[in-house]
Structure 1
């Protein structure tokens, strides 16, 4: 069995089982490579990550000072569209050998494609994902997300890590020690429980916690289909399709797509925010069936009053008009500038933590009648996230 980066770090005593669990959860919630998440969480220094990546993949490591000081004539060796498509930076040309900095030197398809298009023999080298993103922004004007920019800014202010010698990793044993296995397995996730809306500087939430959902009605129980009943059955079947799809998701983006594809058909506005630290950032949003561009540039900090802050701190839904606050005004502007009469805002809670926020508007709709349905969909999404976390642990342990 191949040894993973996490195996190597744990064998070297640089990562605890709890940190490994936290990093895997963080990766499922926010994406990115596992090394990026380890550095972002403060579990690993950039230099240590680079040395272990170099050793694991048996390729040279490109230090930041070299990566960020490449002559323009070297950058010109790789066209912008290839650099952005394959996340690669040219480092130099030796006869017909083109050295490339990559976050994934094991991407053989990318190496073959670059070699075919450029006509060079490609020699890959490794650099952490966030440094590669920084270089792509510097040389190819790629927009850097706030998440990666925050990591880069923090690294600028940190002292360099003391040099450590990476000792050879022991051969992986056929079976792990029982004690280690017990440490690596987390406790079962806590169930998602919706609490009553917490007091906040918003108008009093209109909705109380919803009653338990009614038992599903089997389709075979309905023999005579009336005009109005047919639409209800079609809707029920569509939700069931989403349930099946949720059980097969491969990553967080699929979960977002399933939620928004469904809610964008049902509501005049549907949006997802990612909660990271003390900020809710736009993920994807739809208004009147069309996706809103630039929504990922919307950021709502929790330093002052807003509906998103109320939902995150209370871990419960908010139903009602949006109060006149600067951050609510920013929220409305990011969603097209049309202030709604009422909004339904609900958190996606996983293991007691608000990870995402779903925002819904329904023009002329009684939003209170849809609370239970929305809650059930978010419970399915939370299960899908937990399933991804378990899959990550299987693949990375």
Structure 2
């Protein structure tokens, strides 16, 4: 979409520069669209965003009710492969005109292909990508990404920021610089993403527990720093961290904290990656060691309390 969404929202007084920068960080880290990031972080109301984009782009907006009450005769007009390819939802048919919800209604290539395949005149409607993700799962069994797992019941909303004031965004999350000493004695500073805060100060295993065989295959700090420098996306960073954790500990795991849940990202035990760990989701509203860590931003050591969330 050629429209610069962030600048538009700032000009309309619906967003501050600080909120935009925070949402852009979320967009880069979690691979979601900016509009979805703003909604999920509570910086803008879903309805206000859609209404504004509808006005600026000159296309109607699909309501949440319309997307959640699509009949089989309508959504079956579009193959699931095509719906997934273009991330669109057909939701209304009137004569030869098929109404389709899209996050980018200016994608004319997609509109032309949809018209060719269905044989109908396509009327594009705008809708948030988050809402389309849920509709794709509901009607086509196209599983949502984990990034959308905890926003199905609605979205947080925030009042429009007042001119001259900054919103209370809580603690900032700047990258953390961790200092290591290389094998030749040189000090090395490594900057790691904020979601891994505390990793650099995790206690090492006692030296006597590390066998000579393990030492020979260790992921050294030099290699670690080069791997970080070469990483280009968040999943590569996670792979580097989990490999290092697998060397240092018998069992290790990485979580992404999103809203009211901690979602599994990577896990390793006995040197082997755990498959299916991404399906794990821990509610932070229930008693658990994860909730305590997130709330206090401190380490937790020792035996776990027997709670349903901890047993997972």
TM (normalized to structure 1)?
Answer: 0.55
SS of the residue aligned with 1:43? coil
SS of the residue aligned with 1:66? helix
SS of the residue aligned with 2:228? helix
Give 1:186-225 correspondences, 5 Å limit: 192=176, 213-217=180-184
In the alignment, the residues of structure 2 paired with residue 256 and residue 59 of structure 1 have an alpha-carbon distance, to the nearest angstrom, of: 40
Question: Does the 8 Å contact 2:224/2:240 carry over to 1?
Answer: no
Give 1:328-339 correspondences, 5 Å limit: 329-331=310-312
In the alignment, the residues of structure 2 paired with residue 62 and residue 236 of structure 1 have an alpha-carbon distance, to the nearest angstrom, of: 52
Q: 1:1-59: CA deviations, max 9, x gaps?
A: x6511211111112222332333344345442222232233332222111222244443
In the alignment, the residues of structure 2 paired with residue 38 and residue 68 of structure 1 have an alpha-carbon distance, to the nearest angstrom, of: 22
Residue in structure 2 matched with residue 141 of structure 1 by the alignment: 141
Greater Rg over alpha carbons, structure: 1
Residue in structure 2 matched with residue 185 of structure 1 by the alignment: none
In the alignment, the residues of structure 1 paired with residue 177 and residue 85 of structure 2 have an alpha-carbon distance, to the nearest angstrom, of: 42
SS of the residue aligned with 1:153? coil
SS of the residue aligned with 2:14? coil
In the alignment, the residues of structure 2 paired with residue 126 and residue 281 of structure 1 have an alpha-carbon distance, to the nearest angstrom, of: 29
Question: Does the 8 Å contact 1:90/1:99 carry over to 2?
Answer: yes
Q: 1:277-320: CA deviations, max 9, x gaps?
A: 454222233444244215333315254242x344334434445x
How many residue pairs were aligned?
276
Residue 87 (structure 1) shift:
1.9
In the alignment, the residues of structure 2 paired with residue 145 and residue 233 of structure 1 have an alpha-carbon distance, to the nearest angstrom, of: 33
Residue 242 (structure 1) shift:
0.9
Residue 239 (structure 1) aligned with residue 216 (structure 2): no
Residue in structure 2 matched with residue 323 of structure 1 by the alignment: 304
Residue in structure 2 matched with residue 379 of structure 1 by the alignment: none
Give structure 2 stretches of 5+ with no counterpart: 165-171, 187-211
Residue 323 (structure 1) shift:
2.6
The alignment yields a C-alpha RMSD, in angstroms, of 4.3
Question: Does the 8 Å contact 1:74/1:92 carry over to 2?
Answer: yes
Which of 281, 290, 300 aligns to 1:298? It is: 281
Residue 136 (structure 1) shift:
2.0
In the alignment, the residues of structure 1 paired with residue 239 and residue 56 of structure 2 have an alpha-carbon distance, to the nearest angstrom, of: 34
Give structure 1 stretches of 5+ with no counterpart: 162-179, 181-187, 195-211, 220-226, 332-397
